[in-house]
Amino acid sequence: MSTTVTLINVFTAKPGKQQELATTLAEGTRNFFSKQPGSLSSSVVVGGDGSKVANISQWRSAEDIAAFRADPRFADYMKCIVGLAAGESMMGHTTYSHTGGIEDQEVA
């Protein structure tokens, strides 16, 4: 059973702001989130529609996510993000993944 927590944020950028949003998310990951306890991986995915950007990260636990969100720097970062986009967030655990020919499936 996987204990890793996956956090998926999907944003819709304001018109003309998709690339700026993607850059801001990548810089936030590089300079802040990736250095937090429990951070395992993160990807920024830019949609081909000119507006969508997703940030997918994996964490050791939901408590680690709560701790980084409680950091005062997170509130400042989110003010910047809100100026560029609206978004939704979901947290869960992986039940199936496929990487380079290797399957990892959790059986309920």
Can you give the pTM of this predicted structure? Answer: 0.86
The residue range of the domain holding 55 is: 5-105
The per-residue pLDDT for 99 is 79
The per-residue pLDDT for 1 is 46
Whether residue 40 contacts residue 4, with contact meaning beta carbons closer than 8 Å, is answered with: yes
Instruction: Report the mean per-residue pLDDT for the chain.
Output: 91
The number of folded domains in the chain is 1
CATH assignment of the domain containing 96: 3.30.70.100
The per-residue pLDDT for 104 is 63
The per-residue pLDDT for 27 is 96
- Selection from 25, 32, 30 nearest residue 8 by Cα: 25
pLDDT tens sequence across 22-58: 999 999 999 999 999 999 999 999 999 999 999 999 9
CB atoms within 10 A of CB 64: 17
